Amino acid sequence: MCQLTSLDPNFVYVDVVRESEDSPEGDEDKIYLFFSEVAIEYNFKSEVLISRVARVCKGDKGGQRILQRKWSSFVKAGLECNFPKSNYPFNVIQDVFLLRAPKWRDNIFYATFTSQWSLQNNSAVCTFTMAAIQKVFNEGNFKTFDIIHHKMMESIKPNPVPRPGTCINNNLTKSGYKTSLDLPDQTLLFLQTHPLLNDVVMPKDNQPVLVKQATIYTQIVVHRVTATDQKQYNVIFLGTDKGYLHKALSITGKMFIVEEVQIFPSEEPVKNLQISPTRGQLYISSPSQVVQVPVAVCSQHKTCWDCVLARDPYCAWDTMSRQCLNIASKDSKGWIQNVENGDASECPSPRRASLQYQVIILKHSDFLKCHSTSNLAQKEWLLNGEKLPTDNSKYIHIKDGLLILNLSRNDKGQYDCQAVEMTNGK
């Protein structure tokens, strides 16, 4: 008989789900653990990591004779988070956040993943519903080690009764199993040698909600925000290995990073990320420091158009004070906000930016500044009314402006920077 043990597990998250609430079966609360470990189900020459979720009954007291003073309900399953087009696996889980709902069955686990094979340090965010997790744990078959073929295979033997990993409920209590100490040896022996489920927990919609290239997401928190139109948005905050904070939001079915802030100038990795929804603050730590930042800095948007086009559910334009404010800061009947479409038609017409004159030195380089407060806008540069090509090596288009190399007399004229953003499909 082969006992399946965890190989170098790296636990990243643990939380309790109050599944006893409104349970007609009299079910117990459950503890969910998320971790990665060396896979035992693959016959590869090199070690392959795999992400897992495990479940333990909160009232688990261990077994009477078998699994004494050990978990008698520990069962684990694989987590899948693959890139949909190429089936590229993000197999190493980095962090998890449980977004709780009024009813626990509507809870959603958000998780960040990387790949052990990626040379570009790509990351993905996948979401897992309680329904998907429960289906695997309550109905999935177990894996067993096939001695003949020397590999892990799906167990075809009938499961013992009670089902291994099942928590004490009304039905088990009626059958005489009042605690885990009463469970039969047959169930515990099977669980001891078959802790791994054959089925894998799939993400919602079978794909990541966000894939980011050249970035390692180390931490994640999620906040559900109610906008002025009473629609709810799940705002995702992500810490990176370079000390940046990304704010992501799903708009019309697509995920956008609406804001990017460098928290630690020395590029220290974000090691911990916590949120206080009541205070509207994020608490971010690196190996050497801890900082507190607000969930939104609405005051950076100086005009109504900038405020609305930012499409930040925390921020809205207050027509009374003529400022972009956090909607939690005051009650107002004069909010202008449109997160879904970015429609700023209710705003006053924007004033044309004033001209700034700049003296150039021939054969030198010069930099023209242009900052947009909306992370969803695409910048375009015009010279005397004509769009500058982006593939011309003379012009280097960067985030905060335009760098012009080897200036000549032909470069004189009026440069206009335009922030172009699609709203309502136009």
Predicted local confidence at residue 222, as pLDDT: 98
Kindly list the distances between the CA atom of residue 355 and the CA atoms of 61, 352, 419, in Å, as whole numbers in the listed order.
75, 9, 16
pLDDT at residue 380, rounded to an integer: 83
Along the chain (426 residues), what's the average pLDDT of each consecutive run of 10 residues? Answer: 60 97 94 94 78 97 94 96 85 97 97 87 96 96 78 83 96 95 95 94 96 95 95 96 95 88 93 96 97 96 92 95 92 90 88 72 81 69 84 80 85 81 56
How many CA atoms lie within 13 Å of 168's alpha carbon, on the beta-carbon side? 19
Query: Which of 190, 182, 153 lies closest to 64, judged by CA?
Result: 182
Structural domains of the chain ordered from first start: 10-214 (2.130.10.10), 297-351 (3.30.1680.10), 366-420 (2.60.40.10)
Both tokens of residue 11?
């636990």
HEC readout, 230-291: CCEEEEEEEEECCCEEEEEEEECCEEEEEEEEECCCCCCCCCEEEEECCCCEEEEECCCCEE
Q: How far apart are CA 163 and CA 190, in angstroms?
A: 10
Rounded alpha-carbon distances, angstroms, from residue 152 to 90, 192, 215, 382: 22, 15, 34, 62
User: Are 397 and 380 spatial neighbours (Cβ–Cβ below 8 Å)?
Assistant: no
| The predicted structure's pLDDT at residue 422 | 59
Using DSSP bridges, classify how beta strands 217-226 and 415-420 pair: parallel, antiparallel or unpaired. unpaired
pLDDT computed for residue 351 by the predictor: 65
Nearest-angstrom CA–CA distance, 53 and 145: 20
Residue-wise over 373-411: b if at least 16 C-beta within 10 A, else e?
A: bbbbbebebebeeeebeeeeeebeeeeebbebeebeeeb
Give the pTM: 0.85
CB count, 10 Å around CB of 5? 9
- The torsion of the CA quartet 189, 193, 196, 199, rounded to 10 degrees, works out to -80
3-state secondary structure of 104: helix
